[in-house]
Structure 1
Amino acid sequence: MDGFVGRRAELKALADVLTPVRTGGRGGRRGRAVLIRGRRRVGKSRLVEEFLERSGLPHVFFTAVGGSKHEDLAGFTAELAASALPESSRVADVTAPQTWDAALTLLASVLPTDTPSVVVLDEMPYLVREDPTFEGALQKAFDRTLSKLPVLLILVGSDLAMMEQLNTYGRPFYQRGTEMVVPPLNPAEVGTMLDLPPAEAFDAYLVSGGLPLILEEWPVGAGLWGYLEEALRRPTSALLVSGERTLAAEFPTEAQARTVLGAIGHGERTFSLIGRAAGDLNPGSLTRALELLVSRRIVTADHPLSTRPSRETRYRVADPYLRFYLSFIGPRIPTIERGRGDRVLSALRDSWTSWRGRAVEPVLREAVWLLAEDHLPHGTDVIGGYWTRTNDPEIDIVGADRSPIARRITAVGSIKWLENKPFDDRDLARLRTHRSQLPGADDTTPLLAVARSGCTADGVVHLGPSDLIAAWG
């Protein structure tokens, strides 16, 4: 199976940045930097390895492991000595430097001056956390030496917030690197990789989150239940181990945030219910935990979209795979390890339809947003939802010109993601009633039905699985 389905754009982007390194840049500065970020286990390191293999250039690839500063410096020196850089043998007997200033000076001394090379620092947020001087040392080395050499510096990290901050105003490395985001594979790429029809591709995406490691063990052509039956028999399956490894890396010490995340993963969405499910946390502790989760892009805080302000906030796990793991797998790992994955599968079957109905909503909203120009009125620049504290009404899709407070509502829609139950006249009547309760909408606001099994009602724009999967085409 090709692990690089959907990665052509990223490989091309890296090749484009490499071009001036090969040919020369303005003012004689050939050195370039790229900051790559993406969720854990989306294949960032594998992407870089593939790029290095295709480029054929000498390189050094160092991965920080979250140890002490001195352990990182020793590991970096060892990788430098073992690398294919032409002068790497000069490092063999060198004592590991005590500072990153010295380590990067050592690096510059062994990089070729007449031919291109590549330097990769993977899991860079670990280096930043462990040593406050690292960013300044990197900026100084890049400005004084590396930018003048034919070298491509690739900085990789899974801490999305920190990687974004590295290239912001006031930080040492500001505007010195090109930013690149490596996303999970999208639903269309999942369908292509597994040779699944659109509706089943969405199911596979909700379970895998588009993570290559999970998709690589998913048999081509196998439906959801065929894969799950096999994966739940194996405690070593990527479906099982990826979640725990992600949580351990994200929360090595923040047990309270992990508990709050578990409550959200189990389906709690409001502040009060999350606090209760997390062991009756006091409001201050809960607020701090939620702020941490949102800042790390692990949890998303959603707000109602209409022409009126609202204080209502709902929380959800941002990553589809992690949401699936927290709902069904994590709490049942001991059962699977006892060889009773069949019980987990049975529980999953019982809850799947209702769980999927909620979990698929943000994915389908993204698809509708991507398709807005073709299917929704001009000026639909955001897609969200609307609800009140009592959920009367609760509207799945709201199109508008801006958020969180719109000037104009452009469309109102409903999601009905059930097998063998099309969107019908009763659903349309309910949608019209909800439209009348939405601030900013009126009887002329267009209606949208997003339905897995077709639409039998008139007077509504219908989007089905084939239409929606095309959003990523």
Structure 2
Amino acid sequence: MAFHGRSADLRLLRRQLEDVHTGAGTTSGRALMVSGRRRVGKSRLVQELCDRADVPSVVFQATRRRSTSAERRDFLDTVSQAGLPGSDLVAGLTASDWNQALRSLAIALPDDRPAIVVIDELPWLTEQDPELEGALQTVWDQHLSHKPVLLILVGSDLSVMTALQQHGRPFFGRARPMHIEPLHVADVQDATGLDAAAAIDAYLVTGGFPEVVQSWQPGTPLRAFLHESLTDPLSPLLVSGELSLLGEFPEPTAARAVLDAVGSGERTFSTIAAAAGNDGPLKSGTLGPLLTSLLSRSVLAADSPLSTRADSKNKRYRIADTYLRFWLAFIRRALPLAERGHGERALEHIERSWTSWRGRAVEPLVRASLERLLPDNSWPTAAAVGGWWNRQNNPEVDLVGADREPVARSVEFVGSVKWHDTRPFDRREYDALARAAVAVPGADEGVPLVGVSRSGFSDGLPLAATWGPEDLVAAWR
């Protein structure tokens, strides 16, 4: 299968390997902690590095809930069969603990040229054997760091990967963190061959998940892709979301109920509590820790109003993963229909709600894209882009550009996002923006007004800046 996108990530990894080759670091070896949500392509990325780099490599894939002795045995077998210069020296060896297993790896690695070692799903190994962390630190300090090796530690459990790098943990300060996101919207455009507006639609549906993007035949319109996917119960669009959730939440839990509530469109603490409860709203003492956990795992994201006034308690929650946001909103309910051969009915449901859902779902992408385009000559101090709302969501402002976040010193601009298929951003929408802008703390009647539109702008609107689909996609190139 062709390898799409990831050019920046691959360059970064190649640079780390080059530094090992040239001895640019304080130690001969270098370690990376590569994290990212399940199924975003971490394993494929590091395998691509190994395939393209003309150096010896070994890739070990951990197995969840397997005995630690069996994992060590497989680890040694993988090392002995990897074709490393010293592989024959460790063939047939056994290890009673991870200290011995990792020292065997050090014996097999070359001394005179770079090598790559990948340990995939490190959190599963530390879950099986808590002593692994200490063993990794000891063998790294005494042996592996003195070898010209790029050690890549990969994990999908973001909370565990973050904890492994915290002060006080054995491997603290020894590995550089690298977070892998799904393919960005420009990568999705390259893979699908669509124009900018259609590529943004494709991104909102696939979330940049490689296996879902790969299933999109180049040039296929959105409706045709959805029709094809919904009539195939085994299509990546249908199955990847459930597999991703099962990987993180294997059992029905209150956390899944919270995700379902947010995925259905609930955004505030109180409405999520009401939707996620069984015999009544979830108590705050239950929902608060659940939200904190889901935020720490990057499953949820929380947005606060951006202005010169702090308002951290007025959060709005959303599904952080773009594909999972679409899957929870539409595909979760479509699965029974697709399995019974009624994909057309599922498609009709999506089409009824698509425009309104897309109008809100595109906003995080718009803000992230503008943050990549700014600051520029017109907005030299605009370093953060968010939104603003009051408790009643009246008004609710799509875009606020500011000098910093979460509390700004100055508001640089206020804007609106209109994502209609054919209707341009017109005078009525400009007037509504002008009325809402003065409600934003830090903005006055003279604040510059900006617009983002899928279908262009009416003539004569006194907007300080305008952006369209091509601008948003170009921000990621």
d(CA) in 2 for partners of 1:185, 1:376: 29
- 1:335 to partner: Cα distance: 1.8
- Using the TM superposition, give the Cα deviation of residue 375 of structure 1 relative to its aligned residue in structure 2, in angstroms: 7.2
8 Å CA contact 1:128, 1:134 repeated in 2:
yes
Whether 1:75 and 2:44 are equivalent positions in the alignment is no
Give 1:16's aligned amino acid: R
| 1:158-307 mapped onto 2 (5 Å cutoff) | 158-253=156-251, 255-279=253-277, 280-307=281-308
1:98 and 2:96 equivalent? yes
Identical counterparts, % of pairs: 47
Partner of 1:458: 461
Residue 436 of structure 2 corresponds to residue 434 of structure 1: yes
- Kept in 1, the 8 Å contact 2:90–2:107? The answer is no
Question: SS where residue 360 of structure 1 aligns?
Answer: helix
Q: Which amino acid aligns with 2:303?
A: D
| Distance in 1 of aligned mates of 2:387 and 2:409 | 15
The 5 Å alignment of 1:17-36 reads: 17-24=16-23, 29-36=27-34
Separation in 2, partners of 1:452, 1:33: 43
Quickly say closer, same or farther: Cα 1:141–1:284, change in 2 above 3 A.
same
Q: CA deviation at 1:180?
A: 2.2
- Residue equivalent to 1:407: 409
* Matched-pair contact (CA < 8 Å) for 1:37–1:157: yes
Select between 166-175 and 272-281 the one with higher mean Cα deviation: 166-175
Conserved? CA contact 1:20–1:30, under 8 Å: no
CA distance in 2, matches of 1:136, 1:262: 39
> Contact 2:4–2:191 at 8 Å: present in 1 too?
no
2:316 paired residue among 308, 311, 314? 314
RMSD value, Cα: 1.8
How far off its partner does 1:382 sit? 0.9
Letter in 1 for 2:128: E
Structure 2: gaps (5+ residues) = none
What letter matches 2:272 in structure 1? I
Report matched runs for 1:364-379 at 5 Å: 364-374=366-376, 377-379=379-381
**Shift of the alpha carbon at 1:26?**
6.1
1:152 aligns with 2:150: yes
SS in 2 for 1:374: coil
* 1:354 Cα offset (Å): 0.6
- Of 382, 396, 405, 2:384 maps to 382
Letter in 1 for 2:21: R
Tell me, in whole angstroms, the C-alpha distance in 1 between the residues paired with 2:206 and 2:443: 37
TM-score scaled by length of structure 1: 0.95
Deviation of 1:110 (Å): 2.1
- The equivalent residue for 1:123 is 121
Unaligned runs of 5+ in 1: none
What is the letter of the counterpart of residue 439 of structure 1?
Answer: P
Q: What residue is the counterpart of 2:3 in the other structure?
A: 3
CA distance in 2, matches of 1:201, 1:346: 21
Instruction: State how far apart, in whole Å, the 2-side matches of 1:99 and 1:54 are.
Output: 33
SS in 2 for 1:472: coil
Q: 2:39 aligns with which of 38, 41, 44?
A: 41
The equivalent residue for 1:58 is 56
Q: Which of 329, 334, 345 is the matching residue for 1:332? A: 334
Aligned AA (1:339): G
CA distance in 2, matches of 1:20, 1:401: 35
Give the number of aligned pairs.
Answer: 470
CA drift of 1:328 comes to 0.8
More displaced 10-residue stretch of structure 1: 98-107 or 218-227: 98-107
CA distance 1:26–1:154, shift in 2 (3 Å):
closer
